[in-house]
Structure 1
Amino acid sequence: MATTTEAPATMAEGPTSHTQNQAETRPSNTFGYTRAEQIEALHKLREPFLPTEVRYLPRVWCRACKDSRGKGCNQHTYGPCDKCKQRMPRNGHIDLKFVGHAEATNRLLNVDPFWDWEPLTVDERGLPQVDGYRGLWIRLTVCGMSRLGYGHAGDKTGGDAVKEVIGDAIRNAGMRFGMALDLWTSSDLEIVESGGASLDTEDASASSSARQQGSPSATGPVDHVQRLVGQAKTCWSNAIALSQVLADAEKHQVADAEVDGPVGRQVLRDLLNDQITALNQATANGHNTERGAA
């Protein structure tokens, strides 16, 4: 049975002369990039990474396992993990997906060979200055757009810490552009931070929802549909952006979810395809429907 959630009743307004001029002019503070070119770059940054580019960072959520010094607890035994390739407590840890510094740099270079970053503050020697938590704030610039990011080296020290904090800051700022955003799941971090308590809550919520709807269900897919609906609202007049939203929905197997569209209940896939087709037809007829999705 399809997952249900509320969605965009009236997702967008029509094009205006302001948005048309915004897309056609070249503001002096964007290094010559038009708004349309910037939007295209954002969608390239958001393209899913290949499975070979994705790594796994283990995080032990079981407090008893953390205190066992590698021996495990009464419920979880230690052993090799197929994902992170490390010796971890079975069913007592979470493998968080992430991309490394090299993969992030490669994506940035593919989108903008002239991308750059700079620290927000420097010391008396002109070197990047860390804050009181040994973290670094940076400004990442891609295709004339700048966004902030924060990096931290964790427990590392020395030169390794310097490299780690820079790489972490670049990945963090890249996420503000949407890069590797699909790998970030708050539910995984909630499990880690709650020591597994959220697992019981999730199971109870999923079981209750399933009983009410008469079918298997889970909170994860519903949350993902709501996020995609929110993205669709912000780029309802951008065919390229909607195509990326649709690709994300297909990837996470939620494209069959039923949502509230402008003309009533629709399958998310059909809703997006109808709007993409309409936008492409309008473009072919010479109407500029581009609006900023960034």
Structure 2
Amino acid sequence: MANAIEAPASTTAEGPTSHTLNQAAGLAKLREDFPHEQIQHLPRLKCGACRDSRTGVCENPRHAKQECKECGNYVSNWHLHLDYVGHAELTNRLLDADPLWDWEPMALDQHGLPLFDNNGGLWIRLTVCGKTRLGYGDAQGKKGPNAVKEAIGDALRNAAMRFGAALDLWAKSDLREAQTEHAKTAEDDGIVSPRPSARERQEAPERGASKERPAGGQASAQGTDDDPLPRLVGQYQDKQVWENPLALEQIRLEGKKLEVSARSVQGPPPDNAWTTFDLLLTTRINELKAAKGGDTGRSAA
């Protein structure tokens, strides 16, 4: 009697299997929002001169260092915050999604250790619920053993973002381009507010303020939560923007569009004199044009 041959299992089973259901549930777990208490705040200087300074603060008295009540760092008050999830919190979420998750470097060096590229960055493969995606991390200029751990953690956050982990903290990271001198992309590690915090908007005009404050009901740089003036002031106070007539003209035109041209603002040190937003920028634009041999007979308007 011939031996019976068992038919192979179907590879096109109808409906979801227990494996696909568990995989979908695990991947969905990664997409869940992180609790507020697990989100940390990283200060990022908005002023280019502060970032370039060895002490982390420029000569502008309004940018003086103080302890930040939000992030707890002793830093120039002219900063914003990047919200991010730390290594421990992300690892816990990965374990919740898949207890057997794993990662490996894309390449190894001659000693069998993870290979870093010429930029000090590390490419990795992150595998969760049987799915593998790539990630890249670096140590933000740090050196030594802690730099290696920092790069690994950064690479895990970057790769986990491909699965949707903390995606809400990444989605608006391009807003930093309008807030900082060095534009960042979604490949970085956080989210920023589109404008300074309410406390910054209230306190910034008071620091180093001139006694020659305008009278007669003129508006100052201080405004409400929806006031665009503090954001525009922060842009032209950047050291490189202040030397760029085209950038200043764009800011001036935006101020005109937003109807803040006649608002009073404080000029740069050492005079710190108060004038209107439009006149301050128009005067500065003409000064830069004159220095470059431009036509000073025409108004910047």
Q: TM-score, normalised by structure 1?
A: 0.54
Q: Matches of 2:22 and 2:252 in 1, distance apart?
A: 44
Deviation for aligned residue 1:166: 1.1
Structure 2 counterpart of 1:114, one-letter code: L
1:75-107 per-residue CA deviation (whole Å, 9 max, x = no partner) reads 3332111222112222x2111001111111010
**Deviation larger for 124-133 or 102-111:** 124-133
- CA spacing shift, 1:81–1:21, aligned 2, 3 Å: farther
Q: TM-score, normalised by structure 2?
A: 0.53
Partner of 2:154: 168
| 1:79 match: secondary structure | strand
Q: Which residue of structure 2 aligns with residue 24 of structure 1?
A: 16
Residues 113/79 of structure 1: CA separation in 2 closer, same or farther (3 Å cut): same
Equivalent residue, structure 1, for 2:74: 87
Q: Is 1:99 aligned to residue 85 of structure 2?
A: yes
Who wins on radius of gyration, i.e. which is larger?
2
Unaligned runs of 5+ residues in structure 2 are: 1-11, 184-193, 196-230, 233-249, 260-301
Q: Which amino acid aligns with 1:24?
A: P
Is 1:47–2:32 an aligned residue pair? yes
Instruction: State the distance in 1 between where 2:182 and 2:115 align.
Output: 34
Quick one: which of 110, 124, 149 aligns to 1:138? 124
Match of residue 126 from structure 1: 112
Moved more, 45-54 or 196-205: 196-205
Question: Contact between 2:47 and 2:180, CA under 8 Å: does it hold in 1?
Answer: no
Match of 1:37 in 2: 22
The residue matched to 1:132 in structure 2 has which SS? coil
Larger relative contact order (CA 8 Å, sep ≥ 6): 1
Aligned counterpart, 1:65: 50
8 Å contact from structure 1 (residues 56, 84) kept in 2: yes
Sequence identity (%): 46
Aligned residues: 183
> 1:191: Cα distance to partner?
3.5
Do the aligned partners of residues 102 and 204 (structure 1) sit closer, same or farther apart at CA in structure 2, a change above 3 Å counting? farther
Residues 23 and 63 of structure 1: CA distance in aligned 2, closer, same or farther (over 3 Å): farther
Task: Please give the alpha-carbon distance, in whole angstroms, between the structure 2 residues aligned to 1:186 and 1:86.
Answer: 21
Instruction: Please provide the CA RMSD for this pair.
Output: 3.4
SS at match of 2:154: helix
User: How far does residue 205 in structure 1 lie from its aligned partner after superposition?
Assistant: 7.3
Q: In structure 2, what is the Cα distance between the partners aligned to 1:43 and 1:207?
A: 47
Task: Give 1:147's aligned amino acid.
Answer: R
Per-residue deviation, 1:51: 1.5
Partner SS for 2:127: strand
Q: Contact (CA 8 Å) 1:62, 1:195: kept in 2 or not? A: no
d(CA) in 2 for partners of 1:175, 1:25:
26
Q: Which residue, out of 88, 91, 99, partners 1:113?
A: 99
Distance 1:110 1:204 in 2: 51
Shift, 1:22, TM fit: 8.1
1:147 equivalent to 2:133? Answer: yes
Distance 1:190 1:136 in 2: 25
Q: Give the 3-state SS of the residue equivalent to 2:161 in structure 1.
A: helix
For 1:150 and 1:170, the matched residues in 2 are separated by: 8
